[in-house]
Structure 1
Amino acid sequence: MNIKSMKSAVAATAGLLIAAPLFLAAPAAAHGWVTDPPSRQDNCAKGATSFDCGSIKYEPQSVEAPKGSLQCSGGSGFDILDDESRPWPTKQVGSSVNIQWKLTAAHNTSTWEYFVDGQLHQVYEQNGRPASDISHTLTNLPAGKHTILARWNVADTPMAFYNCIDVQVGPGGGDNGGGDDGNPGGGDDNTGVPAYDPAAVYLGGDRVTHNGRLWEAKWWTQGAAPGTTGEWGQWADLGPLN
């Protein structure tokens, strides 16, 4: 091997040694969003808004940005989520409400923070990897119409995931969001669960009633009626209606 070939081989080996640690250090993907009460990106994904949300409707799980923001988008580039002039659907809830998440890639988490109209309301410690269907209960919410910002702080990266949820606490104006009649449990008594609509798009975690039973979508589905797809199909049978 001549001198020129030896120099080329050494340079290539050095490049591999430098690149390998960088590859191994890359953090695992982590994505998720709030499905109930529906977050703004969830409403966009379901086509529940009266306006076009743009690209966020295809990736509600991807509102990721550096920690510390109080914007609905977190500064991620999905600016539509920050637009307060839009008629965002609002869900009627009680003074206590269950916040249901859908995680497509759970990651080590430090905390979950919940802000009401920009003011920190409650914090949940995680310090580990959460379940894919994790939920938290917010209590003592003030009456009236509010925007709840849910901020999921990843433990071992500088990033967080952001969701804004528009709610009406108590009577007085829940609209377009399929209210749960102020039920503090977020509709778990089945009274606020909509009937199955074959034309609707459902995401994992969405619940419907059909033929006297309660069903939950396991993943994205449209046009496949609950009870027709078998045990391994798109719908989980949660039992008869209350």
Structure 2
Amino acid sequence: MRTKRKIILSIAGAATLAVSVSMAALAWGHGYASNPPSRSALCAGGAVSDCGAISYEPQSVEGPKGFPAAGPADGEICSGGHAEFAELDDPRGGNWPATAVSAGTRTFTWTMTAAHATATFDYYLTNDRYDPAKPLTRDMLDLKPFASFQMGGARPDHTMNHTVTLPARSGRHLVLGVWNIADTVNAFYSCIDVEFGGGGGGTPTSNPTTSSPTEQPTDCGAWDAAAVYTAGDTVTHNGTTYRAGWWTSGEEPGTTGEWGVWRPTTAC
């Protein structure tokens, strides 16, 4: 009887360990599009206010994979189907800050707070039915990715750069980035507002808007808490030079840690 009991307990223990490992992998693998800044990044960086929980965890927009056949429901795509992140689905009257772009080559950057075995990174673009004043739905998107990066289960770097070719568009549009995980049933979703042929940067007029950060040069000037920095920008702060890993504003160099946006560097 003791032997039988030991076998049963061993099996139960192994099953518990397997579930724990699986759940840990699911919880630790997170990331978001940071440059051009996604809605998650804008909220986390303070460029947009009244964002709720996403301000503190921009990397957590995780939903079912299989887009567009499966995945989050229409109207809930930008939040990954999470009610607690519903602010990302709110079009805010079409006034999310937008990055100026044009047809042709463009680099998109993701920030990974933890690596996860990856199947693909896919990028979708809205079509001429897109209405920036309404929540995103599938009929507003070209459902064939304009760019796709196969990774075959490899784990991404802390910063992932993808060089894509943007199709021709005019006016305000939205890029949907989808990070498909290889060893779970989930994916991460990032909505990136862009403006083709425009002056860029949105100037939100509705209540959720915050102040407009000032531009900062990239020549190792003093860090400015009100400035917007993007990947590669360098600043000095408290006698040390730092390089930004992705889009950021208001995060003090020297306080963001090993996995944070600012990394010490020796050159401008």
User: Normalization by structure 1: what TM-score?
Assistant: 0.73
1:13 Cα deviation after fit: 6.3
After superposition, the CA RMSD in angstroms is 3.8
Single out whichever of 165-174 and 104-113 deviates more from structure 2.
165-174
**Alpha-carbon distance between aligned partners in 1 of 2:79 and 2:234, rounded to the nearest angstrom:** 32
Write the distance in 2 (CA, Å) between the matches of 1:199 and 1:161.
Answer: 29
Q: 1:129 to 1:223 in 2, by over 3 A?
A: closer
User: How many angstroms apart in 2 are the aligned matches of 1:179 and 1:126?
Assistant: 37
1:160 aligned to which of 187, 191, 198: 187
How far apart, in 2, do the equivalents of 1:194 and 1:167 lie?
Answer: 28
1:124 to 146, 149, 162: 149
> Hey, what does 1:54 align to over in structure 2?
52
SS of 1:89's equivalent in the other structure is coil
SS of the aligned residue for 1:20 comes to helix
CA distance 1:36–1:24, change in 2 (3 Å): same
Judged with a 3 Å threshold, the aligned counterparts in structure 2 of structure 1 residues 107 and 201 are, in CA distance, closer, same or farther, namely: same
Aligned to 2:121: 112
Q: 1:66 aligns with which of 64, 75, 88?
A: 64
Shift of 1:217: 3.5
- Corresponding residue for residue 235 of structure 1: 263
Closer/same/farther in 2, CA of residues 140 and 218 from structure 1, 3 Å limit: closer
Measure the CA separation in 2 of the matches of 1:30 and 1:40: 19
Q: Is the 8 A contact 2:232 2:245 kept in 1?
A: no
**Alignment partner, residue 32 of structure 1:** 31
CA 80–160 in structure 1, closer or farther in 2 if over 3 Å, else same: same
Shift of 1:175: 2.5
Q: For 1:161-209, what per-residue CA distance to the aligned partner results, in whole angstroms no more than 9, with x for missing partners?
A: 11000111233543258899xxxxxxxx959x9973235798xx75544
Contact 2:213 2:226 in 1 (8 A): no
Q: 1:170 to 1:153 in 2, by over 3 A?
A: same
Gaps of 5+ in 1: 1-5, 181-188
- The equivalent of 1:17 in structure 2 is 11
Identity of aligned residues (%): 36
Deviation at 1:12, TM superposition (A): 7.8
- The 3-state SS of whatever aligns with 2:8 is helix
Match in the other structure for 1:89: 97
Deviation at 1:47, TM superposition (A): 0.5
Larger deviation: 99-108 or 168-177? 168-177
Question: 1:39-76 CA deviation, whole Å, 9 max, x = no partner?
Answer: 10000000001x31001110111111111236111213
Greater Rg over alpha carbons, structure = 1
Task: Report the CA distance between 1:156 and its aligned residue.
Answer: 1.1
Q: Distance in 2 between matches of 1:165 and 1:173?
A: 12
